Copies of this chain bind each other. A is one copy, B any other.
Amino acid sequence: MPFPPEATLAEVGEFALIGELTGMFGQGEQVLVGPGDDAAVLRVRQGHVVVSTDLLVEGRHFRQGWVEARDVGHRAAAQNLSDINAMGGRAHSLTVGLAAPGTLAAQWALDFAAGFAAECDLVGASVVGGDLTGSDQVVIAVTVLGACTQAPVLRSGARPGDVLAITGRQGWSAGGLAVLSRGFRSPRVLVEAYRRPEPPYAAGPQAAEAGATSMIDVSDGLLADAGHLAADSGVAIDVYSASLEVPEPLHAVAAATGADPMSFVLGGGEDHSLLATFADGASLPDGWTAIGVVAEGEGVTVDGAAYDGETGWTHF
């Protein structure tokens, strides 16, 4: 450990901490200039740069005590990497900004960075720059850059007759949050899913190659994000609830909390599963499950009717 265990950010100092942090991030072959100059410099091939940005705020997107610093690092990277996945792209470079109180343990920042770097390693992406500053509350700002080897898959391409399909865990994170919200720590598999999502990183480019007509990652909730596909594509989407798997641990949580287990699956976000549409008759890539259809019209229905359970959330 490079700093005394109890040292705060203020005691360690901005420049010492930045020096320590930048040493934790390996640099890929696309990186001509990494962290430490006015800007990073990346070598890019002719083509598309796919870019997305997200904020995580302490007390809203994570709570100290519910998630460890390392988990926050994994989550912060995952939710951004997933946005590139949802375009059918492959992430290669990220920047990360950390605003935090001077009283925060310096070790928290190091653990956060270790989790962030480990998640980026899963897809071979590099942290090429960042910023560190003081604030009253921990706020993490991530921007991710990626590349597409084929046309990016937008939210707007779903057409009537297409099949709606999903891949990746769905509802697990929401179940974990429900557990933690009530002061419990199990089922552990759900709590772990909340702490560290496992987005299906390989699935985005695979879906793009298989001709997905539209795609989104589930971060607001399955129905909310299906709603984004429907609205941006100018179509209606019907979800077949019988096609959706309700993972076993969710039944236990639902029983304990009096909730409908399907509400976690339909309403849950933050697992960063992928939702995509494919032309009718197209063969779905491995790991995808058909869960609905696209029709003319607007809005999202479940089994042909409006769903009146919990769905998604807003940020204010």
Q: A21-48 toward B: CB 8 Å interface, digit per residue (1/0)?
A: 0000000000011001111111111111
Contact partner of A132 (CB less than 8 A), chosen from B10, B52, B134, B315, is B315
From residue 236 to 260 of chain A, which have CB atoms closer than 8 A to chain B? none
Which secondary structure dominates chain A's binding surface? strand
CB-CB contacts of A1-29 with B at 8 A, as 1s and 0s? 00000000110011100000000000000
Given contacts A93-B51, A97-B141, A315-B14, contact A134 B38 (CB under 8 A): no
Q: How many residues of A contact B (CB 8 A)?
A: 71
Query: For the complex, is A262 an interface residue (Cβ under 8 Å from B)?
Result: no
A53 touches B (CB below 8 Å): yes
**Quick check: A38 and B86 within 8 Å, CB to CB?**
yes
Most chain-B Cβ atoms within 10 A of its Cβ — which of A10, A14, A99?
A: A99
Pairwise interchain contact B134-A87, C-beta atoms closer than 8 A = no
A: residues with CB less than 8 A from B are 9-10, 13-15, 32-33, 36-55, 57, 59-61, 83-84, 86-87, 89, 93, 95-99, 102, 128-137, 139, 141, 143-146, 148, 152, 154-156, 215-217, 232, 314-316
26 contacts between A and B (CB under 8 A): A14-B316, A15-B314, A33-B152, A36-B232, A38-B86, A38-B215, A38-B217, A39-B50, A39-B84, A40-B50, A43-B47, A43-B48, A49-B145, A51-B143, A53-B97, A53-B129, A53-B141, A53-B143, A54-B131, A55-B98, A55-B99, A55-B131, A57-B135, A60-B133, A102-B316, A134-B316
